[in-house]
Structure formats: structure tokens, C-alpha cells
Amino acid sequence: MKYFAYIIAYIDKIPVMRPLPETVKLSVIASVGVFVWLISGFLVPSGPALEVPSSISEKSNNAETVKVVSKEIFAEDFNEILSIRGYTKAKRSVSIASETSGIIDALPVKEGQKVKKNELICKIRVGAREAKLAEAEALMRAKEIDFKAAEKLVEKGHFSLSRAAAAQAAFDTAKALVAQRQIELERTMIRAPFDGVLDVRHVELGDFITIGQPCGTVIDKNPLKVVTQVSEKQVSSLKTGAQGKATLATGEVVEGVISYLAEKADPVTRTFRMEVEVDNSDYLLRDGVSTNLEVEAGITEAYLLPHGIITLDTSGDVGVMTVENNLARFHPITILSDGPEGVWIKGLNGPQKFITVGQEFVIDGQPLKVTETRVSKDNASTGEALVQ
């Protein structure tokens, strides 16, 4: 009440407020108090402020010194594996086109059936082709008789050399006609160009096929290729002959080697075509299946770190914090592998003191008070630590 008396006495000094009753003056004071209280909720953030525990940080005159725990870890040789998306592709695929016209008379091979080289795929009705061949052969025999007779007459001097040459030309023409008729007859038999599978049959019995029209598509799936595109950064670490493992969307897991690596980048995507050949002698793997391909990219120096060490800088880059001269240093990294044993990373050189506890409270260049856990080089791979 003493404070209210002071406030009322101060209000009485205001000419406008002086004639008002005491109750009105108290109402004005209460209204102003409530108004100030309401505004304070908008001007001052609600909720408790985040405080760093005293066990984590200590204040100095110049900068905040953060208590952290570090561990010295040595780099190890790591067989880097690149994981890339790709797809399976047959070694070769050919649409067998007809070289003559006619009606399909026989289709001895079913779709999906294995075929051998030169096995009959489609048979075109012979029609008059055999008769034309017989006619050409008869003509050839007649021309052969004429030519032999001309040779004997030339020897006896009864025929000139020009007449003998004409008889030989007629005989050669007849032989060529026989060969032509034989080829035309053979073209009624459309055969497989190599061992493979008849993937698609483009005609049915009774269809009329024309020159250039496909009869069927034969694919060779052994070896099967896994095709993918690698980036400009990845291509320099790859080489032909390196091992690869492909996990197909259909569930199969197969191994092979890099058989082809393009020398020229795709002008649109700026990526390089890569092919891995895998064995498919049983023809169980299919063409065109999505695949996750893992290939060896060579030996590199890497660090095996606990999962919790990985952090982000203020720009959102993935990296780790290390200790250098009792200062925190951020290093961007590349994650090579992530497994139950930890995270394999690269991007640094030599032994490093990684911050294992407190890295989330520090920024690059911040002073540190370090408790060090050192791992000897001999025990780096086993994880046996020497606490210092």
C-alpha cells in the first residue's frame, strides 16, 4: 500500500488526474500495469534460455573455452568401394531381318527358347524358287557342254579364240545364275546369327514378310553386362579389370569385372559410361533389370570413426572436429562406408585428434580444454585405447 500511495502522489502532480476520485486513480494504475504485463510477453521471448552446463564450458576474458574429449586416430588402408545405380544389358541383341519376300511357312522356335548359331528361326515358303534353281542348273550344264566343245574346236583350228571366249562367258553367266538361285533359296531359311535366346518373334504363320522386315530378335546374355554412368570425380579412381558386385532388383547378387570404361564423357551429362561383365552361362539373369553396382576404386587412406563424431558446420557441410594447438578445427569429409563397426571417412592426412565428446558445442577456431584419449598405431585397428 505504501507503493500505491507514492504512485498516487505522483499522479496528483498531473493536472488532468488531480480532480479524479481515488478509486479512478487506482483503476488507471491497475490498467497500466496489466497493459505493461501483456506487452512484455511479445517483447521478451518466452521459455527458458538454453544454458551450456558448467561442466562443458568455462568463461575467460577473451573467448569461451569448451571442455572436450579427443581421441588420436591413425589412418588405415581402405579398399574404397563406389556404389552406383545401373541396369543389366545383354551382350548383344539383333533383329534378324528377311532378305527375301514370301509367306511364313514354319516357326520352329518359341519365344524365350535358347537357340544355337545357324539354328532355323523362320522358314519362308519356297514356292517357285526350287524350279528356278533347277532351270538355272540345266542351263549351266548346256553352256558347259558348249564351252568344252569350243575348246576342242579351237585346239583343232576350227574355232576362233573369240568364239571360244564367248562360249566361256556364257558358261560363267550360267554358273552365276545358279549361285544366285541357290542364295535366293537359302534366304527362305532365316537362322540365328549366334548362340542366344529368341526374345521376340515378330511374325506368325501365314504372314507375308518383305525384304528388311524382322522375323525375330535374338539376344546373347552371356556374359551379361551391368551398365552405369560414373561422374568426373569418380572415373579417375576406376580401371578396367577391377572387381565389381551387382545386386539386381530381382534379388540376385553376382560378381564380375570392369570390362569397359569410356574415354570420352557424355556431352550432356558429363558422365562416363562403364560396363561390368558378369557370368550368365545359365541364362537366369534378365536383360534391363535395375541394379545397385559396387566397384573397387582402389586403396586409399581412411579413418574408422564412431558414428557420433560426424557433425555439421554452420554452412551445413558434413565433417569432423579435430584439435589443433588446443583450438577446434572443422574438416569437411567424404563418407566411404557406414556399418555397425563405425564410419569410414577420408579427407584428412596423418594421425588426427578427433573430438569425440563436446564437438556439438564448438565452432571452428574455438579454444579448447582437452581431455585426450590416445589410440596407439599398433592398436588402431582393434580400437584398444590408452587414456591419458
pLDDT of 385 strictly over 50:
no
Read off the C-alpha cell for 333. Answer: 569429409
Q: Is residue 102 part of a domain?
A: yes
Question: Rounded mean pLDDT of 4-14?
Answer: 58
**Rounded to whole angstroms, how far apart are CA atoms 119 and 103?**
19
User: Residue 287 pLDDT more than 60?
Assistant: yes
- Are 332 and 284 members of one domain? no
Q: Which of 14, 40, 11, 41 is nearest to 28 (CA)?
A: 11
Does one domain contain both 288 and 316? no
pLDDT in tens, 52-82: 444 444 444 456 888 889 888 888 888 888 8
CB 232 within 8 A of CB 270: yes
Q: Is pLDDT at 7 greater than 80 in this prediction?
A: no
Residue of 11 and 248 predicted with greater confidence: 248
Q: How far apart, in whole angstroms, are the C-alpha atoms of residue 315 and residue 259?
A: 40
Give the pLDDT confidence of 105-161 residue by residue, as tens digits: 999 999 999 999 999 999 999 989 889 999 999 999 988 888 888 877 777 776 677
Query: What's the confidence (pLDDT) of residue 48?
Result: 45
Final residue in a domain of this structure, among 163, 180, 215? 215
Instruction: Say whether both 123 and 180 belong to one domain.
Output: yes
Query: b/e per residue, 46-85, with b = 16+ CB within 10 A?
Result: eeeeeeeeeebbeeeeeeebbbbbbbbbbbeebebebebe
Q: Indicate whether 210 belongs to any domain.
A: yes
Q: What is the CATH number of the domain that holds 271?
A: 2.40.30.170
Of the listed ranges 31-35, 73-77, 198-202, 306-310, the least confidently predicted one is 31-35
What are the CA-CA distances from residue 388 to residues 286, 362, 371, 375 (Å)?
Answer: 58, 22, 8, 10
Of 298, 328, 358, the position where a domain reaches its end is 298
Mean pLDDT over residues 348-377, rounded?
81
The total domain count for the chain is 4
Highest mean pLDDT of the ranges 9-18, 22-31, 147-156: 147-156
131 and 204, same domain (yes or no) = yes
DSSP letter string, 211-274: TT-EEEEEEE-SSEEEEEEE-HHHHTT--TT-EEEEEETTS-EEEEEEEEE-SS--TTT--EEE
Domain of 17 in residue numbering reads as 2-43
The pLDDT value recorded for residue 16 is: 55
- Residue % of the chain over a pLDDT of 90: 40
Q: Can you state the angle between helices 161-186 and 129-156, rounded to 10 degrees?
A: 160
Question: Are 210 and 102 in the same domain?
Answer: yes
In-domain check, residue 51 = no
Do 242 and 208 share a structural domain? no
CA-based torsion, 255, 260, 265, 267: positive or negative: negative
- Residue 49 within a domain: no
Q: Distances from the Cα of 121 to the Cαs of 89, 104, 105, 124, in angstroms?
A: 23, 11, 11, 10
Does residue 273 register a pLDDT over 90? yes
The predicted pLDDT at position 35 comes to: 63
Residue 202 pLDDT > 80: yes
Q: Provide the CATH number for the domain around residue 116.
A: 2.40.50.100
Q: Is residue 9 part of a domain?
A: yes
Averaged over 201-227, what is the pLDDT? 94
Higher pLDDT pick, 51 / 189: 189
Burial (CB count <10 Å: 0-12, 13-18, 19+), residue 261 = middle
Q: Extract the C-alpha cell encoding 317.
A: 557441410
The answer on pLDDT for 386 being more than 60 is: no
Question: Over pLDDT 70: what percentage of the chain?
Answer: 80
Tell me the pLDDT of the chain averaged across its residues. 82
Residues 259 and 182 grouped into a single domain: no
DSSP state of 125: -
Is the domain of 235 the same as that of 380? no
Backbone φ, ψ for residue 69 (5° rounding)? -115, 135
Q: Tell me the pLDDT band of 26, cut-offs 50, 70 and 90.
A: low
Residue 50 near residue 57, CB atoms below 8 Å: no
Q: Are 218 and 198 in contact (CB under 8 A)?
A: yes
| 50 within domain boundaries | no
What was the pLDDT predicted at 377?
Answer: 46
Answer yes or no: is 52 within a domain. no
More confident residue, 277 or 31: 277
Split at pLDDT 50, 70, 90, the class of 381 is very low
| Maximum CA extent, the chain | 164
Task: Choose the weakest-confidence range: 26-35, 113-122, 150-159, 349-358.
Answer: 26-35
Q: What is the pLDDT of residue 24?
A: 61
Same domain, 231 and 86: yes
**pLDDT number for residue 380:** 43
Residues 6 or more apart whose CB falls under 8 angstroms from that of 316 comprise none
Task: Give whichever of 138-147, 254-263, 335-344 has the largest mean pLDDT.
Answer: 254-263
Name the nearest CA neighbour of 55 among 44, 66, 63: 66
Pair (211, 102) in one structural domain: yes
In a domain, 276, yes or no: yes
Statement to judge: residues 225 and 87 lie in one domain? yes
Residue 191 — φ and ψ, nearest 5°? -115, 160
- How crowded is residue 136: how many other Cβ atoms within 10 Å of its Cβ? 19
CATH code (residue 350): 2.40.420.20
Question: Of 298, 317, 340, which marks where a domain is finished?
Answer: 298
Residue 351: is the preceding peptide bond cis (ω within 30°)? no
pLDDT at residue 28 in the model: 66
Tell whether 178 and 33 lie within a shared domain. no
